[in-house]
Homo-oligomer: A and B are copies of this chain.
Amino acid sequence: MKQQILQMLCESDDYLSGEELSRRLNVSRTAVWKHISALRQEGYRIDSVTNKGYRLLQKPDRLSAEWLQRGSRRFVGTAVEVADQVDSTNEALKRRAAAGEPAGLLITAEEQTGGKGRFGRKWASRRGDGVYFSFLLRPDLPPGSIASITLAAGFGVCCAVREYTGLDARIKWPNDVIIGRRKLCGILTEMTAQSDRLDYVVVGIGINVNQERFPEDVQQKATSLRLETGRRWDRNDFLLSVLQKLDEVMERYLISLSVDDMNAFKSLCATLGREVSVQRGKETLTGTAVDITPEGNVVVRCADGKEREINSGEVSVQGLY
């Protein structure tokens, strides 16, 4: 009910009378007033004028599970939980997954005290600055699919950022979204599997939204939507767009990835065509990234003319941070 009132307020450009709300929802005007009060408690600024009714002036700069549950999705965030503070959204969701949580749950948090990226690297996750979230998949796929699930997630975020902000976001293989030379988004996919079958996959995504500055050590490497556009963004609205795009991409991906999907992915991949070096244990390979395979590997044409498929390891791309 509260969700329906919120939705009507969002969709209306003008004041909505309490009478109309009560009629359309078939509840008393007192009930409408109670839900309006509850929304105000949550930080929504709602104007009320006698004889005109209610109007939404501003959404709170706090993540809202109700807002994020809008729309209908099949895979990503079919249920949404907003935490104030967690160690990391991946850790929180892995605990739930291990206890049998069904696929679809998304956990997001205002703040992560132990946000992390690949290789155990710290991911700066200050309160209110970015969006940090993880969602749970349980696809009936072999374990090797994790690489391409990560790619699909990066592709989804990249497309959502392009559509929502108009910025020229690109994918840095395997798991970053960048703008220019700088990192906007990181993805950490974690999973458990039994023999030849995935058990669960937790996809964790951090996107820099309203940061004006970063910790010293990543200042030169990171960017945010705000730094790129000079304005603040509504995190709820932005995150909702990202979730909708991710759901669309995951649905396509988990059913079957078409050649067109791969081509769309490659057209946004900043790694292709660039000089790369790959750290494999003690060995360092250098060459040009020439292709991405459907399994999510990068094909590197090495100095000796041979093409090698790289499926893991630390890839540095010349010309990107």
Chain A interface, >50% SS class: mixed
**Residue A273 at the chain B interface, CB threshold 8 Å:** no
Indicate if the CB atoms of B142 and A147 lie closer than 8 Å: yes
List of B residues within 8 angstroms of A174 by Cβ: 195-196
Are B192 and A192 neighbours in the complex by a CB distance under 8 Å? yes
Identify which of B143, B150, B295 contacts A147 (C-beta below 8 A). B143
A161 within 8 A of B: no
Count of chain copies: 2
Return the contact of A144 from the options B118, B144, B313 (Cβ within 8 A).
B144
Interface size class of A (residues with CB under 8 A): 20 to 34
A118 to B194, CA, bound (A): 7
In the complex, which residues 307-321 of chain A have their Cβ closer than 8 Å to any Cβ of chain B?
311-313
- Let me know if A140 and B281 touch, CB within 8 A: yes
Q: Which of A3-11, A35-43, A103-111, A183-191 faces chain B?
A: A183-191
In the assembled complex, the CB of A255 is this many whole angstroms from the nearest CB of chain B, namely: 11
Complex contacts, A118 vs chain B, CB 8 Å? 194-195, 197
Encode A128-153 as 1/0 by CB contact (under 8 A) with B: 00000000000011111011001000
Q: Is A27 an interface residue (CB 8 A)?
A: no
* CB-based contact B311/A196 at 8 Å: yes
Question: A313 contacts which chain B residues (CB < 8 A)?
Answer: 196
Nearest CB in chain B to that of A312: its residue: B196
A264 within 8 A of B: no
* A140 to B150 alpha-carbon distance, docked (Å): 19
Would you call A271 an interface residue if the criterion is a C-beta within 8 Å of the partner chain's C-beta atoms? Answer: no
**A-B residue pairs in contact (CB < 8 Å), sample of 22:** A118-B194, A118-B197, A140-B281, A141-B312, A142-B144, A142-B147, A142-B312, A143-B143, A143-B146, A143-B147, A143-B191, A143-B193, A144-B144, A144-B147, A144-B311, A146-B193, A146-B195, A146-B196, A190-B195, A191-B192, A196-B312, A196-B313
Binding site for B on A (CB under 8 A): 118, 140-144, 146-147, 150, 174-175, 187-197, 199, 281, 295-296, 311-313
